[in-house]
Amino acid sequence: MEEIKWIVFVVSVIILIIINIACLPFLIKEMAKKDFIFTLVKEGTAKAIMGAGDSGFQRFLWEFKGHKLDDQWNVLNDTDIPNNKGLKQFLGLSGVYFLGIPGLHSVHKYKFRWNSLKQAPDSTTNEAGGIYFTSHDEELDYIILQQDVYYARIESAEDKNMVPLNLDITLQIRTNNPYKSLFVAQEWLEMTWSIVLPALRRFVAKQEWGDLSQRIQDKEKDFIKDIIEEFNNLDNSFGVKIEPDKFKIIRISPAGKRAEMYEAAATKQYEAEQKAKEIKVLAEAERDRIDKIYGKIEEFKELGQIVLQLESFVKAANSSGNMIFSMPELTSFASAIQKISKKLP
C-alpha cells in the first residue's frame, strides 16, 4: 500500500514538472512583455540595457535578421546567419532575451517625436492626392535599426522671387549606430531635420516656383548634390544613414495670404494654355478644310464657284433671320452658270 502511494506521489510530481515546463515559455514571454528578468525585442529594432535607475549604458539587445552589432555598436551585415529553427523558435520565444536582475538592470526609455504619412481611406481629404500626415510623440523603449520613412513640412520657404512656398518632403533613414543615435545625438531625428530643412530653404531660395514645381525630380537630385556631405556627416556624428536617392518632394504649394492668388493665377494660366491649344487645333482643322474646299474650287473653276455659292444660299435659307443677297452676287452667280452652259455640247 505504501509503495502505491509512493508511486502516485512520484507520478504526480512528474506530471507537475511536465506542466510547469510546458507553461514555462508562456511565463517567460509574459515576463518579457513586462521587462521583468526578460525583455522582448521586435524584428528590426534594438534595446539599450541600462544600470539601476537608468544610471548608465551597459549593452544592446537586438533582433535584426541578417545583421549584427559589433563592439562599437555599428550595424553590420551578418554573413553567418544562424539557423532559425532553434529551440527559441520552437518554444515560441523568438525575440525574447535575458534582461537582467530586477532593480539592477532596466531598458532605456526616451521621448521620440516624428511625423508619418498616411493614405486617406476615403474622400476625407483631397490634399496631396489624399495623403496626409500624423504626428507622434511617444515614449519608446527601442530604436529602429531598419530603414524607415520620415516626413517633414517646410512652411513659407521663399523662392528667388520672394514667393513663399510650403514643401512636403520625405526621407528614408536607417540607424547605423544606435549608441550614437541615443546617447550622442539625444534627439537624433531633430538633429537630422535641423541640418536638412535649413539646407532645403537655402536651395529653394535659388529656384523659381514654376521651374521647381515642373522639374521636381531633377531638383531633388540637384539638392542631394548640394547636401551630400552633410548627409555623410550625419552618419559619422549621429549614427544615422540617409538614402540620398530616396529623398522626395511630394508636394509644393504657395504659402501665406497670397496662396489663393498664386493658385488662381496658375489655374488661369493653365486654362489659357489649354484654350490656346484648342484654338490651334481648330485653326489647323479649318486650314485643312479650306485647303481641300478651295483646292477643289480651283480644280473645277466655274463649277466649283457655283457649288460654293449654292452651299452659301442653302445655309442662309436654313438660318434664322433674313439674309439679303446683293445684285452683284446674283449677277456673278448667273454669269458663272452662263459660262458653264456655253461649254456644254
Residues 157 and 193 in one domain: yes
Pairing mode of beta strands 148-158, 38-40 = unpaired
The residues facing 168 across adjacent strands are 153, 251
Number of domains observed in the structure of the chain: 3
Both 122 and 67 in one domain: the answer is: no
Q: Is residue 266 part of a domain?
A: no
- The answer on 174 and 219 residing in a single domain is yes
- Integer Cα distance of 163 and 210 in angstroms: 10
Paired with 113 in beta bridges are 137
Same domain, 141 and 230: yes
* All cell numbers assigned to 153: 513640412
243 shares its domain with 133: yes
- Domain carrying residue 299: 280-343
Q: Does the residue 228 lie in any domain?
A: yes
Q: 15-72: per-residue pLDDT in tens?
A: 666 665 666 777 778 888 888 989 999 999 999 999 877 678 999 999 998 899 999 9
Residues 165 and 233 in one domain: yes
Q: Do 53 and 133 belong to one domain?
A: no
Helix (H) or strand (E) holding 216: helix 216-238
* Residue 248 CB-density burial (10 A; 0-12 exposed, 13-18 middle, 19+ buried): middle
Do residues 124 and 18 share a domain?
A: no
Amino acid 123: pLDDT = 47
Single out the residue in 200, 224, 256 at which a domain terminates. Answer: 256
- Bridge partners (DSSP) of residue 60 are 48
45: nearest Cα among 114, 140, 146: 146
Whose cell is 485653326? That residue is: 283
Residue 206 forms part of a structural domain: yes
pLDDT tens digits, one per residue of 215-242: 888 888 888 888 877 777 777 888 888 8
Whether residue 157 is contained in a domain is answered as: yes
Provide the whole-model pTM.
0.66
Query: Does any domain span residue 189?
Result: yes
Here the cell at position 322 is: 433674313
Q: What's the rounded mean pLDDT across residues 93-121?
A: 84
pLDDT digits (tens, 9 = 90+) for 113-162: 888 776 655 544 445 455 667 888 899 999 999 988 899 888 888 888 88
Residue 274 reports pLDDT greater than 60: yes
Asked whether residue 262 is assigned to any structural domain, the reply reads no
Gap between the Cα atoms of 325 and 313, Å rounded? 9
Specify if 263 maps to a domain: no
pLDDT digits (tens, 9 = 90+) for 275-324: 667 666 665 665 565 556 555 555 545 555 555 555 555 555 555 555 55
153 and 286 together in one domain: no
Q: How many CB atoms lie within 10 A of CB 143?
A: 21
